Structure 1
């Protein structure tokens, strides 16, 4: 397989991953804020195992990385991913998702992991 075929295939896989609305929204949120699983559970109102599956897929693709802060695992966008420029280009066409975090704050559900 030629290098360009491999690149096309892996780019198609990244786009397929981001073709899921939940994962795309997660990436958009992580573009401006780090977050933990429980925040995503509250935002999307789906189970913790479902959120963990989405994050695992994004992590396996190298789009998201995790950092441990005490008992919390905080997720952020992996800016050193070779796909980061592609993701950035895509995200600039999407509406901001900051309102979702603001809603969590208002409900007292925004986690402060400091």
Structure 2
């Protein structure tokens, strides 16, 4: 598979977004798990508007995608993005975040919105 380089300005925008620990953690989680806003509210103990703002920034750059399931919108990493291979190199260097999802499941909040 031939990897193509991304434009410098696009790389700078992505790295700027990844400079925020919450967004970086969100992307690491979304690389393996689809999540809705309410799950991120629980994980990060932040308001729904704050979580939605983070997700909007990631979606605007095409790094995440959304899928509607009933009244809920689930977010996942956009593996079809032209920037995914660049992003994946960063995410591969980060610690696994599965414990955050396991904790939601243990508390019964993983499925509270589904």
Q: TM-score, normalised by structure 1?
A: 0.91
Kept after mapping to 2: 8 A contact 1:69/1:113: no
Residues 34-65 of structure 1 deviation map (CA, whole Å, 9 limit, x = unaligned): 00000000000000000000000000000000
Count of residues in Structure 1 that have an aligned counterpart in Structure 2: 109
> Gaps (5+ residues) in structure 2?
1-5
Structure 1 SS opposite 2:74: strand
Where does 1:45-84 land on structure 2 (aligned, <5 Å)? 45-84=45-84
Note if 1:14 corresponds to 2:17.
no
Cα displacement (A) at 1:9 = 1.0
Structure 2 SS opposite 1:94: coil
Question: How far apart are the structure 1 equivalents of 2:113 and 2:53?
Answer: 22
Structure 2 SS opposite 1:68: strand
Higher helix share: 1
Kept after mapping to 1: 8 A contact 2:38/2:113: no
> Gaps (5+ residues) in structure 1?
1-5
Structure-2 residue corresponding to 1:90: 90
Cα displacement (A) at 1:107 = 0.9
Structure-2 residue corresponding to 1:3: none
Q: TM-score, normalised by structure 2?
A: 0.91
Question: How far apart are the structure 2 equivalents of 1:11 and 1:49?
Answer: 26
Alpha-carbon RMSD: 1.4
